[in-house]
Amino acid sequence: MGFREPMDVMDYLPEMEHTDPEVLDRIMTLQQTYNPSACTAADVRRALDRDYLTPEDFGALLSPAAEPFLEKIAVKAKHLTRKHFGNAVCMFTPIYTSNYCDNRCVYCGFNHDNLITRAKLTPDEVETEMANIASTGLTEILILTGESREYSDPDYVAMCVATAAKHFSSIGLEIYPLNSNEYQRMHDLGADYVTVFQETYDPVRYAELHRGGNKRIFSYRLNTQERALQGGMRGVAFGTLLGLRADWRKDAFACGVHGYLLQRKYPYAEISYSLPRLRPCSSHEIDDNAVSERNLLQVALAYRLFMPFAGETISTRERPTFRDGVVNICVTKISAGSSVRIGGHSHVKDQGDGQFDLSDHRGVEEVRDALRGLGLQPVFNDYVRTGMRP
Ligand code: SF4
């Protein structure tokens, strides 16, 4: 396909729906004034003592000054998680239906310019894959397509959602950003929530990393969750790919604030954070060791104290022991039986290359048993679809 290169990552393309810039502007202002190295131990103690944190308190918990306090922060995080979620942990699995992508993200194996094996499931193959996943007992699925409006157009996504609605009670979408009327269509077919990673909230770094394709439009991507809520979605998930920016603390800060601001604007919305960390893939030009597990733990804990009601999801990019550790403190949703290959759940078409390397290869039963071993309650279904829009 031919790429249209806008002059500025803030320029919308003609087909892109405009959103009130209020939230974007507020995030940009807050992240510009956030200086992690200026935070002190006194700032961290003050944040720990508060029931409701301000963005400034949240910034203190993400700062280097908070590192000696991680154990104390973890105790409070675990208390808040049990208070608001009990010992329930939701389980789900992702399904990759296509790995075609129109974008040129320098850190991703699906990059349009990469010579990988591309594949896309047919409707019959989607049905087979989903039936196989449903046979494990899972009732929640996350549909991923790669980001190609050309190969996985809205009609194709709608087919995937309609098929999923026959097998699953909760359906998430992690696809290219849509306009609100398109989200409404997907919601009406059965989709409940939308996950979009902003990757980095630094527009300059964003432009360096996203060299082509519609994803290059920073502002349209950042406003995706708001359009999804306007389209009737029950929940929206946020993520920044930790490690893309030299100062990962500022990205985690902006991501946390993004969810916080939308929660205030849309009180009924179910907000959640994902915790992806850069992993080795078939093509990347950046340091994938920039963020340690301890750094990732700090982010997960800070999200919990800042947004006590928000969900947190831990990726299969992380080791089983680390995943089990954070799920025992603050994470509320965990994937199991994951495959990042196209057709990887049934081998109906195991010919598409995966997006990244998994670190946790455990199946549904193994993860379920691990959760029970921690005294947690694995939950396959926490939602009954009513068809009513908020
Ligand atoms: S990160 Fe997403 S949009 Fe970018 S190349 Fe990979 S699949 Fe495509």
pLDDT at 283: 45
Give the tens place of pLDDT for each residue, 133-163. Answer: 999 999 999 999 989 999 999 999 999 999 9
pTM score of the predicted model: 0.94
Quick one: how far is CA 328 from the chain centroid?
Answer: 20
Residues of the chain with pLDDT > 70, as a percent, come to 91
Atom of ligand 1 nearest to the CA of 99: 7
**Ligand 1 atom at minimal distance to the Cα of residue 109:** 6
Quote the pLDDT of residue 59. 98
Q: How far is the CA of 108 from the centre of ligand 1 (A)?
A: 6
Residue 139 parent element (H or E): none
* Cβ-Cβ contacts under 8 Å for 127 (sequence gap 6 or more): 163
Q: 239-251, pLDDT tens digit by residue?
A: 999 989 889 999 9
What CA–CA distance (Å, rounded) separates 311 from 257? Answer: 15
Residue 146 Cβ contacting ligand 1 at under 6 Å: yes
Average pLDDT over residues 105-132: 91
Q: How far is the CA of 82 from the centre of ligand 1 (A)?
A: 35
Which residue out of 99, 143, 147, 353 has the highest number of ligand 1 atoms within 8 Å of its CB and is therefore the one to mutate? 147
Ligand 1 centroid from CA 103, angstroms: 6
Q: How confident is the model at residue 286 (pLDDT cuts 50, 70, 90)?
A: low
Q: What does the pLDDT read at residue 382?
A: 78
* Residue 76's pLDDT band (cuts 50, 70, 90): very high
Model pLDDT, residue 383: 77
User: How many A from CA of 259 to the centre of ligand 1?
Assistant: 22
> Model confidence at 345, in pLDDT bands (50, 70, 90)?
confident
> What domains are defined for the chain?
22-379 (3.20.20.70)
Can you list the positions of beta strands (E) in 44-108?
88-96
* CB of 110 sitting under 6 A from ligand 1: yes
